[in-house]
């Protein structure tokens, strides 16, 4: 897990933008939208 990011919330990608990234689309295909979106939300919240 990532902690202590120096990025401000405005500098972080939106969840929607993150979920449209090609690599993340592949993860959604493999693991399902609810799981990937939930994990992405948790990671962004931890920053």
**Domain assignment of residue 2, yes or no:** no
Q: How many domains does the chain have?
A: 1
pLDDT at 5 over 80: no
| Whole-angstrom distance, CA of residue 26 vs CA of residue 6 | 28
Confidence band (pLDDT; 50, 70, 90) for 4?
A: low
**Domain assignment of residue 38, yes or no:** yes
- Give the residue numbers spanning the domain of 17: 9-46
Task: Give this prediction's pTM.
Answer: 0.74
Q: At what angle do helices 22-31 and 33-46 cross, to 10 degrees?
A: 130
pLDDT at 38 over 90: yes
């Amino acid at each position: 897990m990532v902690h202590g990011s120096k990025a401000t919330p405005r500098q972080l990608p939106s969840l929607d933008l993150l979920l449209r990234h090609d690599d993340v689309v592949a993860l959604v295909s493999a693991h399902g939208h609810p799981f990937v979106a939930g994990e992405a939300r948790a990671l962004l919240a931890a920053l």
